[in-house]
Amino acid sequence: MGKKLVVANWKMHGNMAENKRLLQAYINQLSSLKNTDVVVCVPYPYLAQAQSMLQNTNIAWGAQNLSKDAVGAHTGEVSAAMIKDFGASYVIIGHSERATAYCESDENIATKFVQAQAHGLTPILCVGETLIEREAGVMQMVVGKQLDTIISTYGAAVFAKSVVSYEPIWAIGTGLAASSDQAQSMHEFIRGKVAMLDKEAAASMKILYGGSVNPQNAVQLFVMQDIDGGLVGKCSLNAQEFEQICRVAA
């Protein structure tokens, strides 16, 4: 097992003053952290602030979405190159809050995945099923299909050194995290699916768990064989809780 990775997803929270306090708390509390990579994904307008505060620290930064197009007449969109311009190294792709509210197709998500990589950004691809799909027992089929759109167009090798985050939709922001067994079983499925086509890619990709991660459930989740860390929403807005989650990972 390699280094764990913990990613903060601030969603649409923050302002210059609050971010300054939160980032400074991250810096102070996490500077001694070893064996764990930490990333904070901020809203676009704060990429410059993240860059100026986090450069030369052990915390990387990223965005929460990107355009599937490289450049052109796409009003309101933000390209991979623009994100990279602010020193970012990661970008979240296909978060269910976007996929549902902004009708993002699996095809668009696949294009964004390779667009990110083409510009030196590590994609954090979110996959996951709804509660109805889990109750119907079709969760692996659903997640498998989300991965297949990328695999069938670009091959399994694109998963090398990428990040996939298993985020059951019923667990996001609900306080109801998946159990460590539920998460491990899906993570094993995801890694196995990629490994069938490309063993090296499967071994080098990180598979995070996201969905109501907190300092308590992180203890059970992060010891599982195929759980390489977490994508953290709500608890990342609290520096103490986020630090505790990072320390569990470490």
Q: Is 167 in the active site? A: yes
Nearer to ligand PEP, 139 or 201 (CB): 139
Beta carbon of residue 126, minimum distance to ligand PEP (angstroms, whole number): 7
221 touches 180 (CB < 8 A): yes
Beta carbon of residue 67, minimum distance to ligand PEP (angstroms, whole number): 20
Q: Does 248 bind ligand PEP (CB under 6 A)?
A: no
Q: Does 120 bind ligand PEP (CB under 6 A)?
A: no
Return the residue of 63, 231, 245, 249 that touches ligand PEP, per CB under 6 A. 231
Return the residue of 108, 212, 217, 244 that touches ligand PEP, per CB under 6 A. 212
Q: Does 167 bind ligand PEP (CB under 6 A)?
A: yes
Site for ligand PEP in 139-158 (CB under 6 A): none
Nearer to ligand PEP, 191 or 234 (CB): 234
Nearer to ligand PEP, 170 or 201 (CB): 170
From 133, 167, 241, 243, active-site residue: 167
- 176 secondary structure, DSSP code: -
Beta carbon of residue 184, minimum distance to ligand PEP (angstroms, whole number): 17
CA distance from start to end of the chain? 12
d(CA 213, CA 22): 19
Long-range contacts from 172-178, C-beta under 8 angstroms, 24+ separation = 172/96, 172/97, 172/128, 172/210, 172/211, 172/212, 172/233, 173/212, 173/233, 173/234, 174/211, 174/212, 175/212, 176/211, 176/212, 177/211, 177/212, 177/213, 177/214, 177/217, 177/221, 178/209, 178/211
Q: Is 119 in the active site? A: no
Sequence-distant (≥ 6) Cβ neighbours of residue 220 within 8 angstroms: 179, 180
- Report the SS3 class of residue 170: helix
Q: Does 112 bind ligand PEP (CB under 6 A)?
A: no
61 touches 31 (CB < 8 A): no
Nearer to ligand PEP, 65 or 198 (CB): 65
Q: Does 183 bind ligand PEP (CB under 6 A)?
A: no
The binding site for ligand PEP (CB under 6 A) comprises: 9, 11, 167, 172-173, 210-213, 231-234
Residues with catalytic annotation?
Answer: 95, 167
